[in-house]
Amino acid sequence: RQRALLWGVLLAAWEAAWGQLRYSVPEEMPKGSFVGDVAKDLGLQPPELSDRGVRIQNKGRTQYFALHGKTGHLVTAERIDREQLCRLVEKCVLRCELIVEGEMQVYGIEVEVTDINDNAPSFRQAEKDFRLSETTAPGSRFPLAEAHDPDSGRNSLQSYELSGDEHFSLAVQAGPGGDQRPELVLAKALDREEAAFHELVLRASDGGDPARTGTARIRVTVLDANDNAPVFSQAEYTVRVPEDVPVGSVLVSVKATDADEGLNGQVKYNFHKISDRDSEIFYLDSETGEITIKDNLDFEEISSHELEVQAHDGGELFDTAKVVISVTDVNDNAPELTVSSAMSAISEDAPSGTVVALLHVQDGDSGINGEVRCWLDGDVPFRLERSFEDYYRVVTARELDREQVSEYNVTVRAADGGSPSLQSSAVLALRVLDVNDNAPVFAEERYSARLAENNAAGALVLTVRATDADWGQNARVRYRLSEGRVRGAPLSSYFLVDAERGTITLQEALDFEETRAFTLAVEARDGGGLVAHCKVEVEVLDVNDNPPEI
């Protein structure tokens, strides 16, 4: 047992490593029932699930499974009816994806929904009438309506039993698909004068524990001789129609003839074997044998329909023919493009290959109509990569430059292979975040000013200006005067630079006779620490402020 458990753990770990998890759950379990321990199989602790942005993406419009945030268990999101979901499929498997947004990782999950015996066999017709000639030979066989049990395996239909009288017995034949086809067998010659009617009960049982049963009542009316049965023109009718054929169209006409005359030679038609869904789609005219469509066909739902048509005359002799209606695909589904996860902003220094979005694309059509091609519109610094099955990633193709383009609206398009092709698109809005990759730049490398001596303190000398191509704090420029000395005194004792505006003013009046020119070094520094320098030449002009000395 320990070895089996170890193999199970190793198998789950191997499947998780390859992006695939498999579980099973019985149908009709209440909402919130345990399906599988996703956190354990992925090697994650429950608190890590929310940190990594783990969520379940269900395929289709209905959400059947959810992820329990505290335990990391996969649970049912609603009660699941296997017969409703998979009435035409022996093995019922639902698929969803587990998306780990923090790692841009996708895991496929397959959950097999196992059957329980929640349906009893039932007959489409609870009562069946036969009208048999008294000359009918013993050993004659008559097809009976088959019971239908939507369960699978042992829970499906297993056996038939007939009760009534000694004139009839039951035979069960195996159909081409392995199905059981009950037949009423005439075991003893009929005598209308002895008994004009025979009442029988056909019971169908499944293999459940306990078994469920369904019954149909059979009434046999004995008639005088009608020795010719209707005969179809062919044993099987086959027709191919596109799924967009208009409602009301005639798909095929069956034809049977009867050599008898009068009432015994009048032929009427009815469906002998037909599924519940097919009975909603097709209509058989009992007089003409025309089969018309009364509801839209859908290739994606059912691609082939098999019907059995019975022709019976006025004496209730009959013949049976098979009708096969093959539905061909029409490109009636556009690709569905879904943004599973996306970034809204990215730094301009992000390396090439950075993932910015995860997309899922699917097309309900089949063949070439369901083959989808995806691409990005325009000349953008991004490319599209296939991720997992029908998932794509949008990644950076080169480094970004916010100073050239600060925002991108990336359009992702998907087109199928139909003719004409159907398309869909999704737009990703992405802001480029600034990095301090530009130093301030002065409008001029050298500035010059001429100023008369004796100007009062606070007088404007000139204004320097530097700009920075970055954004926000990285573009905020502050100015300061580099250290220097004149005649032993610091330059800052003569001049003052406004840190925000770049204006240079006098700290005190200048004296031409003392100093005739000054050279200042001004520094501009942005919020990220990048700097630039410029030189400012200040010439002092003489004023006649000194009398002659003798």
3-class SS letters over 407-428: EEEEEEEEEECCCCCCEEEEEE
Q: Locate tokens 């609206």: which residue?
A: 409
Give residue 6's pLDDT.
Answer: 37
Give residue 8's pLDDT.
Answer: 40
- Alpha-carbon distance of 284 to 273, in angstroms, equals 12
Give residue 291's pLDDT.
Answer: 94
- Alpha-carbon distance of 281 to 291, in angstroms, equals 10
- Secondary element (H or E) of residue 216: strand 213-223
- Alpha-carbon distance of 198 to 217, in angstroms, equals 11
Residue 477, both tokens: 């420029």
Q: What DSSP letter does each residue of 137-175 carry, written as one string? A: PTT-EEE-PPEE----GGGSEEEEEEES-TTEEEEEEEP
377 within a domain of the structure (yes/no): yes
Give residue 224's pLDDT.
Answer: 67
15 within a domain of the structure (yes/no): no
C-beta separation of 39 from 45 below 8 A: yes
Cβ partners under 8 Å of residue 178, min gap 6 = none
Q: Count how many domains the chain has.
A: 5
Judge if 354 and 425 occupy the same domain. Answer: yes
Q: What DSSP letter does each residue of 305-321 carry, written as one string? A: EEEEEEEE-TTS-EEEE
Give residue 232's pLDDT.
Answer: 95
Judge if 456 and 422 occupy the same domain. Answer: no
Give residue 51's pLDDT.
Answer: 67
Judge if 416 and 369 occupy the same domain. Answer: yes
- Alpha-carbon distance of 180 to 159, in angstroms, equals 8
Q: Strands (DSSP E) along 380-476, which ranges? A: 382-386, 391-396, 407-416, 423-433, 441-442, 446-452, 460-463, 466-467
Give residue 1's pLDDT.
Answer: 36
How remote is the C-alpha of 364 from its chain's centroid? Answer: 10
- Cα separations in angstroms, 164 against 201, 203, 249, 367: 6, 11, 44, 53
Judge if 346 and 312 occupy the same domain. Answer: no
- Nearest CA to 338 out of 106, 15, 21, 39 is that of 106
C-beta separation of 111 from 23 below 8 A: yes
Give residue 409's pLDDT.
Answer: 92
Judge if 353 and 428 occupy the same domain. Answer: yes
C-beta separation of 324 from 235 below 8 A: no
Phi, psi of 41 (to 5 degrees): -65, -25
Judge if 316 and 381 occupy the same domain. Answer: no
Residue 197, both tokens: 């009617």
Q: Would the pTM of this model clear 0.85, i.e. be above it? A: no
546 within a domain of the structure (yes/no): no
C-beta separation of 162 from 170 below 8 A: yes
Between β-strands 213-223 and 304-312, what pairing exists: parallel, antiparallel or unpaired?
Answer: unpaired
- Nearest CA to 374 out of 358, 392, 356, 389 is that of 392
Reading the chain (550 residues) residue by residue, the pLDDT tens digits are 333 333 343 344 444 445 688 999 898 889 888 999 888 888 877 776 776 777 888 777 788 888 887 888 888 888 888 878 887 777 888 888 888 877 788 888 999 988 887 888 888 888 899 988 888 889 999 988 888 878 777 887 788 889 888 899 999 888 777 778 899 999 998 887 788 899 999 998 888 888 888 889 999 998 767 778 899 999 999 999 998 899 999 999 999 998 877 788 889 999 988 888 899 999 999 999 999 999 988 888 888 999 999 999 987 789 999 999 999 888 888 898 989 888 989 988 889 899 999 999 998 888 888 889 999 998 899 999 988 888 999 999 988 888 888 899 999 999 988 888 889 999 999 999 888 888 999 999 999 999 888 888 889 999 999 998 888 888 899 999 988 787 778 888 889 999 999 999 998 888 888 888 899 899 999 888 899 999 999 998 888 878 888 8
510 within a domain of the structure (yes/no): yes
Between β-strands 318-328 and 236-242, what pairing exists: parallel, antiparallel or unpaired?
Answer: parallel
* Boundary (domain end) residue, out of 223, 252, 287: 223
Q: Give the helix, strand, coil percentages of the chain, each rounded to 5.
A: 10, 45, 45
6 within a domain of the structure (yes/no): no
CB atoms within 10 A of CB 153: 12
* Boundary (domain end) residue, out of 377, 401, 433: 433
- Cα separations in angstroms, 361 against 105, 369, 502, 538: 16, 14, 56, 69
- Alpha-carbon distance of 6 to 124, in angstroms, equals 50
Give residue 250's pLDDT.
Answer: 93
C-beta separation of 473 from 439 below 8 A: no
Residue 151, both tokens: 């369960």
Q: What is the CATH number of the domain that holds 371?
A: 2.60.40.60
Judge if 158 and 214 occupy the same domain. Answer: yes
* Boundary (domain end) residue, out of 114, 140, 155: 114
Judge if 448 and 401 occupy the same domain. Answer: no
- Secondary element (H or E) of residue 536: strand 531-541
Could you give the angle at the alpha carbon of 138 between the alpha carbons of 137 and 141, nearest 5°? 90
Judge if 273 and 304 occupy the same domain. Answer: yes
Between β-strands 446-452 and 531-541, what pairing exists: parallel, antiparallel or unpaired?
Answer: parallel
Residue 237, both tokens: 């009718």
Judge if 267 and 340 occupy the same domain. Answer: no
Q: What DSSP letter does each residue of 26-65 carry, written as one string? A: ETTPPTT-EEEEHHHHTT--HHHHHHTTEEEEESSSS--E
Length of the chain: 550
> In one letter, which amino acid is 66?
A
14 within a domain of the structure (yes/no): no
- Alpha-carbon distance of 536 to 505, in angstroms, equals 12
Judge if 44 and 107 occupy the same domain. Answer: yes
499 within a domain of the structure (yes/no): yes
Cβ partners under 8 Å of residue 41, min gap 6 = 12, 13, 15, 16, 21
- Nearest CA to 57 out of 340, 357, 336 is that of 340
- Secondary element (H or E) of residue 82: helix 82-85
In this structure, what DSSP letter does residue 294 have? Answer: -
What domain range is 453 assigned to? 441-541
272 within a domain of the structure (yes/no): yes
Judge if 25 and 92 occupy the same domain. Answer: yes
Residue 43, both tokens: 């090697």
